[in-house]
Amino acid sequence: MENLPGTSSFADLGSFLSAERIPDGQLEIKHRSLPIELLNLPAGSDTTFVFFHGAAEKDVRLPWFVGKGISSGLPVNRIFISDPSLRKAEELRLSWYAGSAAQPDLQEALADIIRRIVRETGGYNLVFFGSSGGGFATLAVSRFFPSSLALAVNPQTSLGRYYKSAGDRFMTHGWGMTDRELTELPGTVAHDLVRSYQAGFRHTVAYVQNARDWFHIQNHQLPFLEAVGESENVYMLMDRWGPTTGDGHTPPPKELLRQSFEELANCHGDWSSALLVSGFLRETRPQDVSARLRETAPTES
């Protein structure tokens, strides 16, 4: 792959982690047989936002850095990461940053990369953000950082509960495993976050869910909250956004997300106060989801 102008390249993960300094701008880190591509935009802040993307449309050009517009001007360091597994095959449009046969340790490698950048910038208050498949990555990678915040929008929480066609493409094109189960993946791959979180976590989770998205409510939100909904480290924002037709898998308005970003950017790691000001609730049990569904139900005219 030809380097883009201004790209700083590293021969392998070890050379990146041991580098005397980490440059600003676009970075390419060769890890095993694929590049990990990211955009590093420090701002001298004690807070760092890390952005993950969801499923890519066919016309998306890699590397793909999502979130630059909505985070523009925030007084935070920003890291945008493109999922390296999408470079394995054109048919692979979603792989959740869960790795591939080429990078079975991707989730851990991303955590190492983020740690090294944070050590460079001093932005130890970490906010991970992503929607849908990027929401899964947000929940997965944030687990490595006990004081971080995972801000996940309409996330998948278990790959086995997502659409079978997407899982089959992930297994076939990412892992070369046709007609195989996710349980056959290496132990380095966290693919069922309900089980992972049920085993324990120390960081904060801000779960954003569109009340119109029944598929994700039933298959991803409720199982996750059944496992962790009693935790004081979980917050929830739930409302009806977007058109009344379709599957409801629509994120909140950008204005609402931007307001939350601004609160989080200026709270110096006091996630609870920023989330409560932004409208998040502490009530996160499955019965609280049912209550929000009733409260946000459209009224008959």
Report yes or no: 262 and 256 within 8 Å, Cβ to Cβ: no
- pLDDT on residue 110: 98
Q: What is the mean pLDDT of residues 38-56?
A: 98
Predicted TM-score of the model (pTM): 0.96
Question: How far apart, in whole angstroms, are the C-alpha atoms of residue 207 and residue 45?
Answer: 25
What tokens appear for 163 in the block? 């659409």
- pLDDT on residue 38: 98
In this predicted model, what pLDDT tens digit does every residue of 239-288 receive, in sequence order? 999 999 999 999 999 999 999 999 999 999 999 999 999 999 999 999 99
Taking the mean position of all CA atoms in its chain, how far away is CA 101? 21
Question: How far apart, in whole angstroms, are the C-alpha atoms of residue 132 and residue 125?
Answer: 23
Question: How far apart, in whole angstroms, are the C-alpha atoms of residue 49 and residue 32?
Answer: 26
Pick from 230, 145, 160, 231: which is nearest to 192 by CA?
Answer: 160
Higher-confidence position of 299 and 13: 13
Pick from 271, 280, 261: which is nearest to 78 by CA?
Answer: 261
- pLDDT on residue 298: 87
Report yes or no: 158 and 220 within 8 Å, Cβ to Cβ: yes
Report yes or no: 188 and 103 within 8 Å, Cβ to Cβ: no
- Phi, psi dihedrals of residue 53, rounded to the nearest 5°: -95, 165
- pLDDT on residue 6: 78
